[in-house]
Amino acid sequence: MSTVRTLRWFDAAAEEVHSIPQEETICVIGLGYIGLPTASALATSGWSVIGVEVDEEILAGLRAGRTAIEEPGLRLIVKAAISSGNLSPSATVQPADVYIICVPTPFTAEKTADLSYVVSVTKQIAALLRPGNLVILESTVPPGTTTEVMLPILEESGLTGGDDFYVAHCPERVIPGNLLNELIANDRIIGGLTPASAEKAKAIYQTFVDGRIHRTDATTAELVKAMENTYRAVNIALANEMALVSHELGVEVDEAIKLANRHPRVDFLSPGPGVGGHCIPIDPWFIVEKAPEAATMIRAALERNAAMPRYVIERVSEGLAVVDKELEGAHIALFGVAYKRDVDDARETPATPIIAGLEAAGASVAIYDPYVNEYYRPLAEDPLEAVRGADALLIVTDHSSFGALDLVELAEYMRERPVLVDTRSIIPLVPERWTAVRF
């Protein structure tokens, strides 16, 4: 029933709106993980793009064709965009026909969205807004933000949303590590303030997106985005809970999951040390924020994932106990601070609470990650440096190179009876002299 209504609503709009001619200027605000690839994709599709970034260092790098983010293909497309002359980096928001907001929505201590960047940029756009302009929000926000927070600010310009200018929410859906491919290939959801707004935004995205573009209203699009990451967070939490259950029952969780997944309608994800990144541990809270009474299972799942670092520390302690040692005074080599496999991003990594917990218990920690350059702690140059004198090896991230670690060699550098806690089941075969703890 509701599907039929939605289709009619948008089909009527599609007839009224013509696609935007590509000579229009697009101002992309925020050149981070999403803004930079989006601005570059638009620029290489022929649009004239102003890329706004407040970080002077990032801006200077871009002007010289350098990127601060490691992503396959990104450097190439940014270089192409800059050298074509279609992408102009700028420190301030410039007048344009279309504005695309790609700023972060950080997370407060109260587990709510901090909309201060979105609000500040929206105010800057409101000051420049002209009739016929289109404002698109890509940042992930709590449902209702486009109409309840952005629209009133934009209307301070004296113009009326939907009549004088267009507004749409077009959430990003790309996975770090395969960002550019997904930017082009994935379907997009466009939520318009009005059908005409959605249609206008579609005309832009369809110039670089190969996936299908689905139109809806702004609040639905906001909820859909948060729902996607909630779906993943809840499913990871279920796998994590199975790790705890299996441990209690003396069962190997990987074996149990592998066998359960032989059912045609069962597809467990993998348990791990907890979830990181700037999306999965955060975005589901935007639903809890807006509907706390209803979202009880989501809250429980988030809490389960957040409790995994504690479980990891318990496993390290358990392993040490097997070889008559304890956390107090132990030296732990921790491998992997990236929040996930083969990326350089350590934001919200579960490694941070794990390190804090180990140290609070009196252990010392040496850290190794071949991908990460920036972390709040010094990193060892190579695996051997990190394991020297360690009692235990704790694997937090499943970087593909860790699968080829030579544990026989590593043990030579460690103390007697080394312990292995592999939170990602990345080590295929554990040599005999190691004590491996079931995760």
Q: Does 188 bind ligand SAJ (CB under 6 A)?
A: no
166: part of which helix (H) or strand (E)?
strand 166-169
Q: How far, in Å, CA of 433 to CA of 420, rounded? A: 10
Among 189, 236, 253, 301, binds ligand SAJ (CB under 6 A): 236
Q: Does 407 bind ligand SAJ (CB under 6 A)?
A: no
Residue 277's region, left for phi above 0, alpha for psi from -120 to 50, else beta, is: left
In angstroms, give the least distance from the CB of 37 to ligand SAJ.
Answer: 12
Q: Does 279 bind ligand SAJ (CB under 6 A)?
A: yes
Residue nearer to ligand SAJ on the CB measure, 282 or 380 = 282
What are the start-end ranges of the E strands in 283-422? Answer: 331-335, 364-368, 392-395, 419-422
Phi/psi at 157 (nearest 5 deg)?
Answer: -70, -15
Q: Does 50 bind ligand SAJ (CB under 6 A)?
A: no
Q: Does 53 bind ligand SAJ (CB under 6 A)?
A: no
Binding mask 303-332 for ligand SAJ (x = CB under 6 A): ------------------------------
Binding mask 83-122 for ligand SAJ (x = CB under 6 A): ----------------------------------------
Q: How far, in Å, CA of 270 to CA of 426, rounded? A: 12
Q: Which of 279, 290, 325, 340 is catalytic?
A: 279
Q: Does 59 bind ligand SAJ (CB under 6 A)?
A: no
Stretch that binds ligand SAJ, among 253-261, 269-277, 329-337, 384-392 (CB under 6 A): 269-277
User: In this structure, how many other beta carbons lie within 10 angstroms of the beta carbon of residue 374?
Assistant: 11
Q: How far, in Å, CA of 115 to CA of 308, rounded? A: 28
Residues 149-188 as b or e (16 or more Cβ within 10 Å = b): bbbebbbebebebeebbbbbbbbbbbebbebbebbeebeb
Residue nearer to ligand SAJ on the CB measure, 171 or 418 = 171
Annotated active-site residue 279? The verdict is yes
Among 122, 229, 317, 435, binds ligand SAJ (CB under 6 A): 229
Q: Does 172 bind ligand SAJ (CB under 6 A)?
A: yes
Closest CA to 179 of 305, 253, 17, 69: 69
Annotated active-site residue 225? The verdict is yes
Q: Does 399 bind ligand SAJ (CB under 6 A)?
A: no
3-state helix/strand/coil string of 47-103: CEEEEECCCHHHHHHHHCCCCCCCCCCHHHHHHHHHHCCCEEEECCCCCCCEEEECC
Residues tagged active-site: 225, 279
**Interacting residues toward ligand SAJ by CB under 6 A:** 140, 172-176, 228-229, 232, 236, 269-270, 272, 275-277, 279-280, 283, 339-340
